[in-house]
Amino acid sequence: MTSEVRIPDPLHPERTEEARLRAAAGLAPAPSTGGEYAGFESVGLPDRPPQTEREREVYTLDEGEMLVNIGPQHPSTHGVMRLVAKVRGEVVVDIDPVLGYLHRGIEKLCENATYTTVMTYVDPMDYLSSMHNEHAPAIAFEKLYGVKAPRRAEYIRALVVELNRVFSHGLMMGFQALDMGGLTPILYAFINRDEVVDLLASISGQRMLFNFFRVGGVNFDANDEFFSRLGTWRAGVLKTIEMNERILTDNEIFRGRTIGMGVLSGSEAMALGVTGPSLRASGVPFDVRKAHPYSIYSELEFEVITHTGGDVYARYLQRVAEIKQSIHLIDQIVDKMPHGPVQAQVPGIIRPKPGRAYAAVESPRGLYSVYAISDGGPNPYRFRMRDPSFVSLQAMPKLMPGRLIADTMAVMASFDPVMGGVDK
Amino acid sequence: MADLRRPRPAAKQLGRRRDLSAPAGALVRLLLDRFADLAPTVWTDEDTVEVRIDGERNVEVLARLRDDPELNFFMLADAAAVDYGPTEHFEVVYHLYSDLHPAWLRVRARVDRADPHLPTITGLWEGASFHEREMYDMMGIVFDGSRDLRRIYMSPDYRSFPQRKDFLLPDDAADSPAAGVDPLERPETWDLSRFVEAATSSEAES
């Protein structure tokens, strides 16, 4: 018998020691698992006993059931993420989302960065709504430092944030179709997205990770050229959105696959912490812009849109309606745009007084909030971000049992999660 | 940049804040009335009301906040943990939303750092599960009664709690790495002594 060569495991020295002793005694190597998982290693079960009740429930297989890994490298997981689906034939029995493939420790990094440089770290969080990611920390730090952004800065903030929402929801329409096998809408969605992103690049200098918000204002003022480009974009934006609407909204196949699919009632959604368009599609009129008006939203006229279906189709319609609402808000903001400075007098390295601040904004995926604690030093003592798509993912194990595995991606796309934000 | 490293004020000074006259005065009075038996510390900010409680009572307090028709804090906006340093305590912070009051409600539950246990609130809001998994993963706070308390970001065999304040980033090495850190909380490092030994012995041979 040949002795097995093992690389010492720094995390589990006892395993290496056991292997050495077994080899010395002429025994076969120990099986890498024990108990309930013995013999199942080949199908992707974890090589350890279940840690929790829920894990035991998902990973214990009955007769006729098997596990299917969707991801981590899968075109429809909106990033790097794994859904472990327990299936019986084609019917999903249970789902376990496995996260962490994209974890970068952004909170910890922010706690070691100055207040200004935090803005660069939060950008790649939820990379389809970078402006929203920057908005919440900006508000929280202004509360901590006791400074207010000038009115023009607040208007420019609201403007870029709503522009960001337009392309984020527009992309959701495309991805919703893409995940169900329709290729055309995503192409139209990216035409729209590219136009908005060019527009945002002309004001912030960046196409994706904008780094535009500052404590006490914004980085650049909006000039005449920006407004003229905005006007050109405004004249044509509804065309690309409507092209997608014409393909999807009355499409018989699309309706057939989405109506009644993944129905989430209002109370369920609230208990699960689902927020944003997905919650409003279940009939709950919760919108942070109305519930706790921040920035200048108390000066704008708009109603909270809701749908009652609570299914994938309602969540899709909700996004379409909110795109038009955002364009309506952009019109108002441009009309009311005041003149003046865009940045308050703030030193480069700020040291707020000890204290704590909470700020929440309505991101395209829901309630995005920041809880920052200052201890008087140049960097936040604690910087906590609540990402809406992280919480929304908990709806998947609730909605999928009894449904076909092919519909998993349709339901997941309807929550529009972005893994950069989920994994932080 | 030397100025950036000036000593921080002790964590005890955190939370000392003037009691501002806030629009949420009615909520403060209501809270003091409803929770007279707990004698909570209530603070106000421009749009936040803060209640400090003992960690053990979190389920009871949150249930009362949610179910009281006049309070009606039906939505859990956020649940997060804060580490106040190796010699201090943990805090689990809940942010709640109610459609009746113009303020966020922040409930700060104090947790002992040596024995960080807390009852789970997944019975009140199912969606707190991921938040609690994250707090366990990042801070090592254990939520008793949770059905699914396992790591969520780090791999299952990871053994540190990266967001604790005594877990230092590699470029913080100047701040006395791992001084007084419990073995369980020590950042994972490769034991290099073996290689050093091998290198010195091969030198001796040649």
Please write the tens of the pLDDT for every residue from A297-327: 988 989 899 999 889 999 999 999 999 999 9
CA distance A402 to A116: 48
Amino acid at B10: A
CA distances (Å), origin B177, targets A241, B165, B188: 54, 11, 12
Residue B86 pLDDT > 70: yes
Instruction: Please list every residue in chain B whose beta carbon sits closer than 8 Å to the beta carbon of residue A103.
Output: 153-154
Q: What CATH code would you report for B14-165?
A: 3.30.460.80
Q: At B51, which helix (H) or strand (E)?
A: strand B48-54
pLDDT at position A19: 63
ipTM score here? 0.83
Chain B touched by A12 (CB under 8 Å): yes
DSSP single-letter state for residue B117 = E
Residue A399's contacts (CB-CB under 8 Å, 6 or more residues apart) are A262, A263, A264, A411
Residue in A115, A217, A226 with CA at minimum distance from that of residue A157: A217
State the number of CA atoms in the 13 A half-sphere of A374 facing the CB.
Answer: 24
- Map out the domains of chain B as residue ranges: 14-165
Distance of alpha carbon A313 from alpha carbon A336, whole angstroms? 35
Half-sphere exposure of B4 (CA within 13 A, CB side): 12
Asked if residues A389 and A404 have their Cβ atoms less than 8 Å apart, the reply is: no
CA angle, corner A294, sides to A293 and A295, nearest 5? 130
Does any CB of chain A come closer than 8 Å to the CB of residue B104? yes
- pLDDT of the residue at A293: 87
Rg (CA), chain B: 22
Please report the pLDDT score of residue A100 as a whole number.
Answer: 86
User: Residues with Cβ < 8 Å from B130, sequence gap 6 or more?
Assistant: A273, A390, A391, A393, A394, B152
Task: With residue B197 as reference, give the H or E element that holds it.
Answer: helix B193-205
Please give, rounded to a whole number of angstroms, the shortest distance from the CA of A89 to a CA of chain B: 26
* Omega before A49 within 30 of 0, i.e. cis: no
Q: Which residues, in sequence order, are CB contacts of A4 under 8 Å at separation 6+?
A: A19, A23, A29
Element (H, E) at A383: strand A382-386
Q: What is the mean pLDDT of each run of 10 residues along chain A (424 residues)?
A: 42 57 68 43 52 82 81 75 87 89 88 87 90 92 89 93 93 89 88 90 89 90 89 88 89 89 90 92 90 88 90 92 93 91 86 88 92 87 92 90 88 89 88
Q: Please, which pLDDT band fits residue B165 given cuts at 50, 70 and 90?
A: confident
Contact B148 A54 (CB under 8 A): yes
Query: Could you tell me the pLDDT band of residue B15, with boundaries at 50, 70 and 90?
Result: very low
A143 sits in which H/E element: helix A130-145
What is the DSSP annotation of B159-171? ---TTSTTS--GG
pLDDT, tens digit, for every residue of B24-38? 677 777 777 787 777
Chain B residues inside the 8 Å CB shell of A285: none
Provide the residue count of chain B: 206
Q: Which residue has the higher pLDDT, B37 or B196?
A: B37
* Interface contact B195, partner A, CB < 8 A: no
- Alpha-carbon gap, residue A345 to A182, rounded angstroms: 51
Residues 30-69 (B) with a CB less than 8 A from some CB of A? 45-48
Place of tokens 């006229």: A301
Question: pLDDT tens digit string along B104-147?
Answer: 888 989 898 888 889 999 999 999 999 999 998 888 888 888 88
| pTM for the predicted model, two decimal places | 0.81
Of A294, A148, A276, residue with least CA distance to B102: A294
Which whole number is the average pLDDT over B146-154?
86
Residue A112 and residue B17: Cβ atoms within 8 Å?
no
Domain ranges for chain A: 106-423
Could you give the residue ranges of the DSSP H alpha helices within A180-251?
184-204, 224-248
Chain A interface mutation, best of B75, B83, B124, B185, highest count of A Cβ atoms under 10 Å: B75
Q: Are A189 and A109 in contact (CB under 8 A)?
A: no
- Cβ burial of B143 (10 Å; 0-12, 13-18, 19+) is buried
**Residue B99 confidence class, pLDDT cut points 50, 70, 90:** confident
Q: Does A378 touch chain B (CB under 8 A)?
A: yes
CATH entry, A106-423, from 1.10.645.10, 3.30.2320.50, 1.10.8.60, 1.10.1790.20: 1.10.645.10
Chain A, window 129-158: residues with a beta carbon less than 8 angstroms from a chain B beta carbon: 143
B97 has a chain A CB within 8 A of its CB: yes
Q: What is the predicted pLDDT for the residue at B101?
A: 81
